[in-house]
Structure 1
Amino acid sequence: MEHDKSMKSKEGTEMLEQVRRICGSLPEAEEIIDGFGHTVFQVNGKSFARLGESEGGGAGLSFKSDRETQELLLQQEGFFKTPYIGHHGWVSVKHPQDWSMLGDLLKEAYLRAAPKRLAKLMMP
């Protein structure tokens, strides 16, 4: 789903393409633009990932996590607690490098937000 308010920088556009590729494969995941201009991925009305870009063009990705995973990620370079919602377990990253790991983290974020009937579809 293309939005004209979406990411403008090359880095932001590439990040959005990667996240769309991952989240687009998740059952009933939807992409919206919120009132702040962030691209938000949600399932059943619950957000699990969001992307935004600052005026200077710095793009960032935030995703829902549990406290244990959040603490582990905060010890790694590049990850930080998401402003305003980090106390709920959200983690942010700028300049992501490891899309394999981020793919797994985004799928975990989806499972935290998805209803049980959809989460069951993701089980092997």
Structure 2
Amino acid sequence: MVHEQISSIEGLKMVAAVRELAMRLPEVTEQIDAFGHTSFRVNDKPFVIMGEGGIDGPSLSMKVLKTTQEMLLTQEYFYKTPYIGHHGWVSILAKNVTSYNDLEDYIREGYMCAAPKRLVKQLQGQPR
């Protein structure tokens, strides 16, 4: 299987929107892996992974708490992320995202799941 970086217009818009939200958080890095997935990481732990290549277009996966995952899975467009869903990952296709700002709390939650305690404390002390 050939893996390519995100290159569709819809995929690039998704990456730009998520980048704007994720890079507001302390010590976040962006990385593209060997599969062409773009991820946002803290302490080298991913909390957002995006990719494309399926027939349904680009997708966004986020690490969330299990309780949040259960709640999101009751909504129409969210689904358990293949291979890593049992670790609390949930995904949505870019075409089903009405506003990336609506996902900001979940991106922040994923960050707090992956970040070291010192960064979580730092973030909790900051206004949004």
Q: Provide the TM-score with structure 1 as the length reference.
A: 0.91
Provide the residue aligned with 2:124 in structure 1: 123
User: In structure 2, how many angstroms separate the alpha carbons of the residues matched to 1:33 and 1:105?
Assistant: 21
Specify the alignment match of 1:112 in structure 2.
Answer: 113
- Separation in 2 of the partners of 1:53 and 1:117? 34
Number of aligned residue pairs: give it.
120
- Distance in 2 between residues matched to 1:43 and 1:74, nearest whole Å: 25
DSSP-derived class of the 1:27 partner: coil
CA deviation profile, 1:26-52 (whole Å, cap 9, x unmatched): 100000011211001110011100000
**Partner SS state of residue 6, structure 1:** coil
Provide the residue aligned with 1:61 in structure 2. Answer: 60
Correspondence 1:18 to 2:21: no
Per the alignment, residue 37 of structure 2 pairs with 38
Any conservation in 2 of the 1:8–1:57 contact (CA below 8 Å)? Answer: no
> In the alignment, residue 20 of structure 1 is paired with which amino acid?
R
> Alignment partner of 2:11: what SS?
helix
Moved more, 90-99 or 71-80: 90-99
Task: Structure 2: give runs of 5+ residues left out of the alignment.
Answer: none
Task: Mark the CA change 1:31 to 1:100 in structure 2 (over 3 Å): closer, same or farther.
Answer: same
Query: Equivalent residue of 2:91, what SS?
Result: strand
- The sequence identity of aligned pairs, in percent, is 48
**TM-score, normalised by the number of residues in structure 2:** 0.88
| Range 51-60 or range 68-77, more displaced | 51-60
